[in-house]
């Protein structure tokens, strides 16, 4: 099997793992508070990452502590928002709204990292937001009663924004920090952020809920391993395209597992969002290549 085939397989497996992780979250979201799910994921991730850091003899504290703290905080807020959206919205819609993050990433990179925006971003931004309106279908577009609840949909978009902030932090930190150190700070921040909420209103998981919680942590870790492998073997533009397979998997699980239906407006809105995200990612990669 060639390098490109191995990279493609790794990214498809990553999308599968992350999509199955969202199934675990949705199974838990009806009874367990979101903070408890994020805490369980953080504990599993911290344990696995700490072992890997120790084996390599690395210091987990890094050099740019302010940047690492910001990355961990932004990632934690993003995950809380995303898990809340998964519990409150159809699985496919929550995943599609999460994929608005590349447009936010392009804008944040321009502001924080002074990266030059490609001209296609001007097209991608309005295209993406038209898609968001079509997916959410608020009452003012003339389809009252057929759209998503506005509160959870807004939380999903806020989560996408903080995902973008976390991604920009990772890009900046990758110059000075080992990847495992960057990963370590995510659960390191998530645990103290979510612990008070769990202590105040946590629910003791049942037997099967323990299995779903374990699935959230293990599937996330597998997804991270496979996406790293895929990005190592494939050009960034091709990898970005394949990453969107997660949306397809999420819509499939929503239909098969939770009997969720997708109307025509939502479908085309999702296509616009993914198209805008792809344009944003490719435009940013082109700008970076021209500057290097």
HEC states along 72-111?
HHHHHHHHHHHHHHHHHCCHHHHHHHHCCHHHHHHHHHHH
Q: What pLDDT sits at residue 171?
A: 77
Contacts of 264 by beta carbon, 8 Å cutoff, 6+ apart = none
Q: For residue 179, what are its two tokens?
A: 């990847």
Distance CA 19, CA 117 (A): 30
Q: For residue 19, what are its two tokens?
A: 């999509």
Least trusted range by pLDDT, from 74-83, 212-221, 261-270: 261-270
Distance CA 188, CA 182 (A): 10
Q: What pLDDT sits at residue 108?
A: 72
- Cα 102 to chain centroid, rounded: 10
Sign for the CA dihedral angle at 190, 193, 194, 195 comes to positive
Statement: residue 109 has pLDDT above 60: yes
Q: What pLDDT sits at residue 88?
A: 93
pTM to 2 decimal places: 0.86
Q: What pLDDT sits at residue 146?
A: 57
Biggest CA pair distance of the chain: 60
Query: What DSSP character marks residue 177?
Result: S
Q: What pLDDT sits at residue 282?
A: 66
Least trusted range by pLDDT, from 37-41, 66-70, 89-93, 106-110: 106-110
Distance CA 178, CA 164 (A): 20
Q: For residue 51, what are its two tokens?
A: 């072992």
| pLDDT, tens digit, 9 for 90 and up, residues 3-15 | 778 878 888 898 8
How sure is the predictor about 39, in pLDDT bands with cuts at 50, 70 and 90? very high
Statement: residue 137 has pLDDT above 90: no
Q: For residue 193, what are its two tokens?
A: 């952020």
**Overall average pLDDT of the 203-219 stretch:** 93
- The answer to whether 76 touches 165, Cβ cutoff 8 Å, is no
Distance CA 145, CA 136 (A): 11
- The answer to whether 233 touches 7, Cβ cutoff 8 Å, is yes
**Overall average pLDDT of the 44-49 stretch:** 92
Which among 96-105, 251-260, 283-292 has the top mean pLDDT? Answer: 251-260
Q: Minimal CA–CA distance to 244: which of 221, 270, 263, 219?
A: 270
| pLDDT, tens digit, 9 for 90 and up, residues 153-177 | 999 999 999 988 988 888 788 888 8
Q: Give Cα separations from 204 to 25, 84, 98, 247 (angstroms).
A: 16, 19, 29, 31
SS3 205: coil
Distance CA 82, CA 156 (A): 6
Whose tokens are 């374990």? That residue is 214
Share of the chain above pLDDT 90, in %: 43
Share of the chain above pLDDT 70, in %: 84
- The answer to whether 100 touches 157, Cβ cutoff 8 Å, is yes
């Amino acid at each position: 099997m060639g390098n490109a085939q191995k990279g493609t397989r790794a990214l498809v497996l990553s999308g599968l793992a992350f999509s199955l992780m969202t199934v675990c979250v949705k199974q838990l979201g009806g009874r367990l508070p979101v903070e408890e799910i994020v805490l369980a994921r953080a504990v599993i991730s911290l344990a696995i990452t700490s072992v890997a850091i120790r084996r390599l003899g690395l210091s987990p504290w890094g050099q740019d502590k302010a940047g690492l703290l910001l990355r961990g905080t932004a990632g934690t807020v993003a995950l809380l928002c995303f898990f809340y959206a998964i519990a409150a919205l159809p699985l496919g819609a929550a995943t599609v709204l999460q994929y608005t993050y590349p447009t936010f990433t392009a804008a944040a990179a321009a502001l924080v990292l002074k990266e030059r925006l490609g001209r296609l971003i001007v097209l991608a931004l309005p295209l993406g937001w038209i898609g968001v309106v079509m997916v959410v279908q608020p009452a003012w577009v003339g389809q009252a009663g057929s759209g998503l609840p506005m509160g959870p949909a807004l939380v999903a978009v806020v989560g996408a924004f903080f995902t973008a902030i976390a991604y920009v932090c990772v890009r900046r930190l990758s110059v000075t920090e080992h990847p495992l150190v960057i990963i370590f700070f995510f659960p390191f921040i998530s645990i103290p952020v979510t612990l008070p909420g769990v202590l105040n209103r946590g629910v003791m998981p049942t037997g099967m809920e323990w299995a779903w919680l374990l699935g959230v942590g293990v599937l996330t870790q597998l997804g991270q391993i496979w996406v790293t492998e895929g990005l190592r073997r494939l050009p960034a533009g091709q990898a970005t395209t394949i990453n969107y397979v997660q949306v397809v998997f999420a819509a499939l699980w929503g239909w098969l597992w939770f009997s969720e239906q997708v109307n025509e407006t939502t479908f085309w809105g999702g296509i616009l969002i993914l198209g805008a995200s792809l344009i944003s990612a490719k435009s940013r990669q082109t700008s970076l290549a021209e500057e290097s």
